[in-house]
Structure 1
Amino acid sequence: MTGKRAPVRLWLGLSALALFALALVSLMVGKYPVAPADVWRALLAPLTGNPPEPIVTTVIWNVRLPRVLAGLLVGAVLAAAGATYQGLFRNPLVSPDILGVSSGASLGAVLGIFLSLPVLLIQASAFAGGLLAVAAVYAIGAAIRNRDPVLVLVLAGIAIGALVGAGISLIKILADPYDQLPAITYWLLGSMTAVTRGEVLSILPALTIGLVPLVLLRWRINLMTLGEEEARTLGVNTRVLQLVLVSAATLMTAATVSITGVIGWIGLVIPHIARMLVGPDFRVLLPASLMLGGGYLLVVDMLARTIALTEIPLGILTAVLGAPFFLWLLASGRKGWQ
Structure 2
Amino acid sequence: MTSSPVDVTARSTSPASVSTPRQARWGRNPLIIAGFAALVVVVALVALAVGRYFVPPNEIVRLLAGQILPLRETWTQQESTVVLDVRLPRVLLSILIGAGLALTGAVMQGVFRNPLASAQILGVSSGASFGGVLVLLVGLGGIALVGGAFVGGVIALLLVLTIARAVPGAPLLMIILGGTVVGAMFQAMVSFITYIADPYSELPSIVFWLMGSLATASYGKLAIAAVPILLPALVVLALRWRLNILSMGDEDAVALGLRPQRLRLLLLGCVAMITAAAVAVSGVIGWVGLVVPHLVRMMIGTDNRMVLPVSALLGAAYLTVIDTLSRVLSTAEIPIGILTAIIGAPFFVALLIRNRTRLWGSDA
Q: TM-score when scaled to structure 2?
A: 0.82
The answer as to 2:322 corresponding to 1:307 is no
Alignment-derived partner of residue 19 in structure 1: 40
Q: What CA distance in whole angstroms lies between the structure 1 residues aligned with 2:175 and 2:90?
A: 34
Alignment-derived partner of residue 237 in structure 1: 259
Q: What CA distance in whole angstroms lies between the structure 1 residues aligned with 2:146 and 2:80?
A: 28
Post-superposition CA distance 1:294-315 (Å, at most 9, x none):
1100110111000111110111
Q: How far 1:207 sits from its partner (Å)?
A: 1.8
Q: TM-score when scaled to structure 1?
A: 0.88
Alignment-derived partner of residue 258 in structure 1: 280
Q: How far 1:326 sits from its partner (Å)?
A: 3.0
Q: What CA distance in whole angstroms lies between the structure 1 residues aligned with 2:331 and 2:107?
A: 37
The answer as to 2:228 corresponding to 1:206 is yes
Q: How far 1:285 sits from its partner (Å)?
A: 0.6
Q: Rate the CA distance shift 1:118–1:221 in 2: closer, same or farther, 3 A.
A: closer
Alignment-derived partner of residue 62 in structure 1: 85
Kindly tell me the number of residue pairs found equivalent between the two proteins.
335
Q: Rate the CA distance shift 1:215–1:150 in 2: closer, same or farther, 3 A.
A: farther
Listed as ranges, the gaps of 5+ residues in structure 2 are: 1-16, 358-363
Q: How far 1:17 sits from its partner (Å)?
A: 1.3
The one-letter code sitting in structure 1 at the alignment partner of 2:42 is: A
**RMSD across aligned C-alpha pairs, in angstroms?**
2.9
Q: 3-state DSSP class of the match of 2:29?
A: helix
Q: How far 1:262 sits from its partner (Å)?
A: 0.6
The one-letter code sitting in structure 2 at the alignment partner of 1:17 is: A
Alignment-derived partner of residue 216 in structure 1: 238
**Contact 1:104–1:130 at 8 Å: present in 2 too?**
yes
Q: 3-state DSSP class of the match of 2:214?
A: coil
Q: How far 1:320 sits from its partner (Å)?
A: 0.9
The one-letter code sitting in structure 2 at the alignment partner of 1:36 is: P
The one-letter code sitting in structure 2 at the alignment partner of 1:245 is: L
The answer as to 2:199 corresponding to 1:177 is yes
Q: 3-state DSSP class of the match of 1:212?
A: helix
Q: Rate the CA distance shift 1:209–1:120 in 2: closer, same or farther, 3 A.
A: closer
The answer as to 2:130 corresponding to 1:107 is yes
Q: How does 1:14-163 map to 2 (within 5 A)?
A: 14-46=35-67, 47-48=69-70, 50-51=72-73, 52-119=75-142, 121-135=144-158, 137=160, 140=162, 147=168, 156-163=178-185
Q: How far 1:36 sits from its partner (Å)?
A: 1.7
Q: What CA distance in whole angstroms lies between the structure 1 residues aligned with 2:210 and 2:264?
A: 29
Q: Rate the CA distance shift 1:201–1:228 in 2: closer, same or farther, 3 A.
A: same
> 2:338 aligned to 294, 312, 316, which one?
316
Q: How far 1:100 sits from its partner (Å)?
A: 3.0
Post-superposition CA distance 1:281-337 (Å, at most 9, x none):
0001111101111110011011100011111011110111122233334445699xx
**Contact 1:99–1:153 at 8 Å: present in 2 too?**
yes
Q: 3-state DSSP class of the match of 1:309?
A: coil
Q: Rate the CA distance shift 1:223–1:189 in 2: closer, same or farther, 3 A.
A: same
- Structure number, greater radius of gyration: 2
**Contact 1:89–1:150 at 8 Å: present in 2 too?**
no
Q: What CA distance in whole angstroms lies between the structure 2 residues aligned with 1:188 and 1:232?
A: 42
**Contact 1:141–1:149 at 8 Å: present in 2 too?**
no
Over the matched positions of the two proteins, sequence identity in percent amounts to 41
Q: How far 1:94 sits from its partner (Å)?
A: 0.6
Q: What CA distance in whole angstroms lies between the structure 2 residues aligned with 1:164 and 1:250?
A: 15
Q: Rate the CA distance shift 1:38–1:161 in 2: closer, same or farther, 3 A.
A: same
Q: Rate the CA distance shift 1:132–1:163 in 2: closer, same or farther, 3 A.
A: same
Q: What CA distance in whole angstroms lies between the structure 1 residues aligned with 2:107 and 2:142?
A: 30
**Contact 2:121–2:180 at 8 Å: present in 1 too?**
yes
